Structure 1
Amino acid sequence: MIEWLLLLLPVAAASGWLAGKRSAETVNAGSHSQLNSAYFAGLNHLLNEQPDKAIDTLLNVLEVDSDTVEPYLALGNLFRQRGEVDRAIRVHQNIIERPYLSSSQRGQALLELGLDYMRAGMLDRAESSFLEALKRRSHIGITLRQLLDLYQQEKNWYQAIAMAQKLREESGEATESMIAHFYCELAEQRWVQRQAAETTWFIKQALASDWRCVRATLLQSRLAIEKGDYKRAIRCLRQVERQDPDYLPEILKPLSECYRHLEGQDEFFFWLTEASERHPGCTSLILAKAAYLQQRGKQKEARYFLIEQLRVYPSVEALQQLLALGVPEDIEAASEPWSLIEEVASRLLKAKLNYVCGFCGFGGKYRYWQCPGCKRWGTVKPLALGT
């Protein structure tokens, strides 16, 4: 009961004051009496714990005086925020039905009604409300963002691209990266359907929208690998370093495989050495270089290399790889401290996040191109660069 009083009394009071002010200005006794009657009837229903009847009665005031639109918009928003979406929809629908609203007021009500439908999960109705608000050029930026969010939920990537482009035109907001990811979504759909030509076309569109789109380049490399064109795949994978070096950990395994197919492991090691100089402390590069030495049977060199790197760039991953090389000759195999270090390193790695969003801090074990936390695209990156 107290919650309803706190929620509806301010709106009722505002409606009564505005109605009284309006009726005083027009000096219309009949109108004044009708407004006062509706106002007090609404309060009576409220006090008798009949909030739905109170809403209906107070909404009738709108038939007399459009100055009360703003309080009722606020009331609908309060209902939505409290999770009472049905009541929010009723309030906003009632407002829209009024013939005397200004274009701005009707556009605002349509936008709020669309938000109600979104909250209720009725995406088709939300889309209709947002599109109607967009036709009226009302609150363009907010409306376009809501439509953009809606089309992403529906995975309607063509419409999402159109809305993102329109948002850029209307507000100047940078949407190039987002559009590139939408094209990548379409490319991956065609990839699953084994439509290589269309996959390639969408990848090109993604890179045309944002040349730094690592996702598109990784897709290019996958296409090349599937065709057995390892030289092209290597060119694509090495391009990632220029696009965004944070994604270097993502390319090392496929890059190594491509060089192996071409019997160019020494060339791969040469690239690793150069890349390590360009990105000192990159844990993934350190691990890859040590693994190469180990594969070549150079266990001692690999151990010394890891020890040297750990002194400057400490990381749990490098420590575990050092431990995996085996117990040094001057330490007993059954040494309790050595076993403890191995166990601690293993536990720390299991608890460690592999990816983190640079915007909201969301972390996880797996890569997401769209952050599950903040819904931004391309912000979740590997957490494998040494600090």
Structure 2
Amino acid sequence: MDWTWILIGSLAILTGCWWSLSRRHADQQARPSLRNIPPEYLKGLNYVLNEQQDKAIEVFIKMLEVDSDTVETHLALGHLFRRRGETDRAIRIHQNLIARPSLPEDERFLALLELGMDYMSSGLLDRAESLFKELAGTRTYAVQANHKLLEIYQQEREWDKAIDIAQKLQTLNGHNLDPEIAQFYCELAEQNLTAGSKTVAQQHVRRALTIDPDCIRASLLEAENARLEGKIGLALKILQRVEKQDPDYLPEVVAVIVACYRELGQVDDCMHYLQHIVSKYGGMTPLLYLTRLIEETRGEKAAIAFISQELKRRPSVRGVDKLIEYVLGMAEGEIRDNLQTIKEMTAKLLSSSPVYKCKHCGFDAKQLHWHCPSCKQWSSIKPVLGVVGE
């Protein structure tokens, strides 16, 4: 038996009793006695305690025909059913509430909002959208309804509509949604790139950067387009902008930055740039790329000496893994076997560790998501820091 649910449900019902009876008898007594509780409430409560939810719902719905003051209790019960995943029961409760012609307007709007959320939980997004559009025109529930519409349009990947709603919300409540709107434009850009509409995609990227100049994703899209057009110098300049936008994302752009420098034949400049990044921000990804360039230009021994010195300052599993890779080529016999065992251990540790983590909810990932699959926040997933990360 789910005692937690029963306790919550019972409290909700009794709270409804208290509220209803207090309103009716406020002038007669300070608080209702148990004798004043309608027998229908006790009957419904008994059904809840015996986990006979269907019969309990029938009792409470019939009570609406007698006393509309029980609306709050039914809304609470419907909310509980939805939270339990029993959306069909929640829908039934809220539909019956809305069907009451005598239901006050404000309570009808609240029931519509709850029904819309029932539909969302059931995956009936078209029905939910219709209700939220109606509520978006009300003064009381405009903000809540538009927030729900924004959720729907993001889920359905209708980015034009999402942009429109986000802009309305900024007007309604004054909250800054520019970073989210920029992400929506990036989504549109990627859709158009997939469809072959390169010019339109570029327009969306420029719009994203106009709205949010610190949008990393838009910079990456802009740099990718510049590279495809053979504008390597421009691409490099765009990618180096990431340092000022958000240095947490530098590990994401290092590989492309190094590739641009190579195409331009500027390996020495690349090494100076990476040294600057490593000294100012740290990060194992730029350090490993710098180690590779040192190996190419100065030899393996110089690379080993460099990474060994850096690991003393910032211990890292990735760094140790790379160092072992170097030393394995020189080791023999039992020492080589032992190093190989350690290499296998570091490889397993790295393969089982997340590369990215959401700063908002802690969601772990192996690849970068601009939209967190768990908490649905934008730009909240970043490279993991620490011994097994950057």
What TM-score, normalized to structure 2? 0.85
**What is the rounded CA distance, in whole Å, between the counterparts of 1:320 and 1:39 in structure 2?**
67
Partner deviation per Cα, 1:101-151 (whole Å, 9 max, x = no partner):
333212111100101111111001111111112212223333222211111
Residue in 2 that maps onto 1:380: 381
Amino acid at match of 1:175: L
SS at match of 2:382: strand
Residue in 1 that maps onto 2:33: none
Residue in 1 that maps onto 2:241: 239
**What is the rounded CA distance, in whole Å, between the counterparts of 1:334 and 1:237 in structure 2?**
46
Tell me how far 1:346 sits from its aligned partner: 2.1
2:90 matches 1:88: yes
Residue in 2 that maps onto 1:209: 211
**What is the rounded CA distance, in whole Å, between the counterparts of 2:80 and 2:315 in structure 1?**
52
Which sections of structure 1, spanning at least 5 residues, go unmatched?
26-34
Amino acid at match of 1:255: I
- Counterparts of 1:89-104 in structure 2, within 5 Å, are 89-104=91-106
CA contact (8 A) 1:303 1:322 kept: yes
Amino acid at match of 1:94: N
CA contact (8 A) 1:357 1:381 kept: yes
Residue in 2 that maps onto 1:266: 268
Residue in 1 that maps onto 2:222: 220
Structure-2 change in CA distance of 1:371 and 1:47 (3 Å): closer
**Structure 1 range deviating more: 336-345 or 220-229:** 336-345
CA contact (8 A) 2:248 2:383 kept: yes
Partner deviation per Cα, 1:277-332 (whole Å, 9 max, x = no partner):
322x3212211111001122511111111111011111111112222223486x64
Amino acid at match of 2:379: G
**Structure 1 range deviating more: 110-119 or 85-94:** 85-94
**What is the rounded CA distance, in whole Å, between the counterparts of 1:380 and 1:340 in structure 2?**
33
**What is the rounded CA distance, in whole Å, between the counterparts of 2:359 and 2:264 in structure 1?**
36
Structure-2 change in CA distance of 1:44 and 1:212 (3 Å): closer
Identity among equivalent pairs (%): 40
Residue in 1 that maps onto 2:322: 321
Amino acid at match of 2:89: R
Residue in 1 that maps onto 2:283: 282
Amino acid at match of 2:136: L
**What is the rounded CA distance, in whole Å, between the counterparts of 2:301 and 2:186 in structure 1?**
44
CA contact (8 A) 1:108 1:138 kept: no
**What is the rounded CA distance, in whole Å, between the counterparts of 1:253 and 1:295 in structure 2?**
16
Residue in 2 that maps onto 1:30: none
Pick aligned residue for 2:185 from 153, 161, 183 = 183
Partner deviation per Cα, 1:239-275 (whole Å, 9 max, x = no partner):
1111111111111111111122221222211211222
Structure-2 change in CA distance of 1:191 and 1:384 (3 Å): farther
Residue in 2 that maps onto 1:168: 170
**Structure 1 range deviating more: 52-61 or 368-377:** 52-61
Residue in 1 that maps onto 2:32: none
**What is the rounded CA distance, in whole Å, between the counterparts of 1:370 and 1:346 in structure 2?**
28
Structure-2 change in CA distance of 1:312 and 1:9 (3 Å): closer
**Structure 1 range deviating more: 197-206 or 65-74:** 65-74
Tell me how far 1:379 sits from its aligned partner: 0.8
2:127 matches 1:125: yes
2:310 matches 1:300: no
Amino acid at match of 1:100: S
Residue in 2 that maps onto 1:70: 72
**What is the rounded CA distance, in whole Å, between the counterparts of 1:178 and 1:358 in structure 2?**
16
Residue in 1 that maps onto 2:115: 113
**Structure 1 range deviating more: 200-209 or 137-146:** 137-146
Tell me how far 1:220 sits from its aligned partner: 0.5
Amino acid at match of 2:194: V
What TM-score, normalized to structure 1? 0.86
Aligned positions, number: 376
Tell me how far 1:172 sits from its aligned partner: 2.3
**What is the rounded CA distance, in whole Å, between the counterparts of 2:360 and 2:22 in structure 1?**
50
Residue in 2 that maps onto 1:343: 344
- Counterparts of 1:147-158 in structure 2, within 5 Å, are 147-158=149-160
Tell me how far 1:168 sits from its aligned partner: 2.0
**Structure 1 range deviating more: 13-22 or 55-64:** 13-22
CA contact (8 A) 1:282 1:385 kept: no
Tell me how far 1:57 sits from its aligned partner: 4.7
SS at match of 1:356: strand
CA contact (8 A) 1:284 1:384 kept: no
CA contact (8 A) 1:362 1:373 kept: yes
Residue in 1 that maps onto 2:31: none
CA contact (8 A) 2:109 2:141 kept: yes
Residue in 1 that maps onto 2:146: 144
Tell me how far 1:384 sits from its aligned partner: 5.6
Partner deviation per Cα, 1:49-74 (whole Å, 9 max, x = no partner):
97545534532333343322111211
Amino acid at match of 2:191: Q
CA contact (8 A) 2:354 2:384 kept: yes
Residue in 1 that maps onto 2:311: 310
Amino acid at match of 1:287: L
Partner deviation per Cα, 1:35-54 (whole Å, 9 max, x = no partner):
97977987898899975455
Amino acid at match of 1:349: L
SS at match of 2:64: helix
Residue in 1 that maps onto 2:367: 366
Amino acid at match of 2:319: A
Pick aligned residue for 1:200 from 183, 202, 207 = 202
Structure-2 change in CA distance of 1:67 and 1:306 (3 Å): same
